[in-house]
Amino acid sequence: GQNQPWQIFDSALQKRLNQEKEYRWDIIRGLEQEEFLLYVQFFMDAKTRKIVGGETLARWQHPQQGFLLPGRFVPVFERADMIDLLDFYILDKAAAFLEEICKEQTESFFLSCHFSRKTFAAEDFTERCKEILKRYQFPRERLMLEMTGSASVKETKLLKCNAQAMRE
């Protein structure tokens, strides 16, 4: 049942659990082999019709299953408590992309990079972000960090601290 603390174990659930178990190994290999791709959904200024920015999207070019959308792999990352691996992997790709864009002298292109609520609320969030960002040269105001999902009251203080630290 939906929103129930229990679930009936059937062949469909068994198949999903087996697939998730395989995906966990695939995730590690996929990150190592750079099978996860950064896609950018661009934002256009309606008046000038110029591209002014974008937001990051993750896609997986799985060697056996082909092109996978986030609905197929993000829940597996989350249930395996590995979503931070994807979040920081995409941040690294986004920073590299911004560095290249800025070399082209684009006026004020910005990029919004998404993080799961859990990653954004982690105690080591700012240190891990800074470690990645120090490898790339671009105006920092061109990178926006965005949290997906809603936060619990318990996480609110740490989220605010992390947001402030990254703003600085």
Report pLDDT for 150: 55
Per-run averaged pLDDT (10 residues), the chain, 168 residues: 75 83 86 96 94 95 94 89 96 97 83 94 94 96 86 68 84
Cβ–Cβ < 8 Å for 86, 77? yes
Report pLDDT for 24: 82
Distance separating alpha carbons of residues 61 and 88, to the nearest angstrom: 18
Report pLDDT for 22: 77
pTM above 0.75, yes or no: yes
Hey, which bits of the chain come out as E strands?
A: 36-44, 51-62, 66-68, 110-116, 143-148
Distance separating alpha carbons of residues 134 and 93, to the nearest angstrom: 13
Report pLDDT for 163: 82
The helix/strand/coil state of 79 is: helix
